[in-house]
Structure 1
Amino acid sequence: MKVFCTILMFFVLFSMSSFDMSKACDYAGSNIGYIKSQTERALAAEDINTSRFFAYKALNAIEKSKEQIEACGCDYAKESIYEGLDKLKKATRVSSLNGAKILLTRALDNSSGSLEAIRDHEEHQGSLYANDMLAMNTKTADKEKLSMIMPVGKELERKIDQSLVNYQNSLDEVVNSVECKEAYEFASRIYEHCEQELLKPGLTEAKKYYNLRTKQITALALDKLKECNN
């Protein structure tokens, strides 16, 4: 009887914790979907003031969603949306619409990546809970959960490369359509920002690779614009 009660208590507590985490991820996913839509509206705006208005709405939504994002427990989603927060803040400070759109494109990539990560996280968590209920092997499952929270190695690089495709396309558009000197100055600021970020100690592998690849992509644009630096 005592053993039965112990097992029953385990199932109750486990199902409650999995339910709470699932709900937190549902809320976080819903909020990030809203953040993504506001970022898209900021990106589609035809003047800088309208763009800032929607960027601020996305910013406020991230601030209000921190508790749910933390509770969900998906490190990749959290890191990606906070990267987007930084880009949104910068987008509200630049004076040109083209400059804002570069940053908003990167913020949109971050919110899209975060949303995808939460969906993957929820699917994986669901399969792990099923395995736990059958095997009762929580230590092994915890190790598996930790290893799946953040992609590593080539998978991490693949996700980040994919997230930067829109940034590269937008940067190419700026190179081809924005006044030469303005485009050079803007790309230079991004390049220098990446350099400064890479000098910071304690960066995660994701942040290091993200900034390295952004720097490399921007360097190609700067090479095309080198004659504008005169």
Structure 2
Amino acid sequence: MDIVQASNLVKRYLVGEQQVTAIRNANFNIKQGSFVSFVGPSGSGKSTLLNMIGGLDKPSDGKLLINNTDISTLNRKQAAKFRGEHIGFIFQDFNLIPVLTVAENIEYPLLMVQNWPLAKRQQRVKTLMEAVGIAEQANKFPSQLSGGQKQRVAVARALASQAKLVLADEPTANLDHQTAFRIIDLMKQMRDDFGTTFIFSTHDNKIMNAAESLFILEDGEISEHRQTATEGERA
């Protein structure tokens, strides 16, 4: 099943009085449970594509279906509700709320968007903290965590609402190599355990080597779609 379907996708911006085309006639499908990356230099359009898939920006032309919903037809309130129920986000600078504990940061999406009952929220948070290996840090604040621990919290938060699609914009940019590899392995484990689709925007070779499918962008166009070797084939 394809969780993302893009047909002739175009994104244009006005910069002053000049129109700039950031994405040109992009066509791609992404299957449920994939580990996929958009790659390319700065300005190639990879973050723009990620923002459109996440419903943060609307296409200028073309069609974009997320979980069989045409998100370009949603108004701002509908788009926010759709994101809260279907899409998780992981950011390179973590974006944790400094005045909330680890457990509260993970719980936050459930309070803001889905309003789960207390017992259900607590069980979900406990399950995720154990899954990403930060249960012992539950009552600590972000300032008391290492970079790797913060990113583990971000992964758990992205999965809190049982999102089937997680978008990660340069998620290893602020991590050392060893920690970055552990976070990539953690995200793959989350994919295997929960069936989550992970889509990255990156130029980090570590993620590119881990991805099962690469979409190469140049000047707003997908110049190549490369299926990489599976872990079994690499062994």
Q: TM-score by structure 2 length?
A: 0.29
More helix by share: 1
Name which one, 1 or 2, has greater alpha-carbon Rg. Answer: 1
Q: Relative contact order (alpha carbons < 8 A, sep ≥ 6): 1 or 2 greater?
A: 2
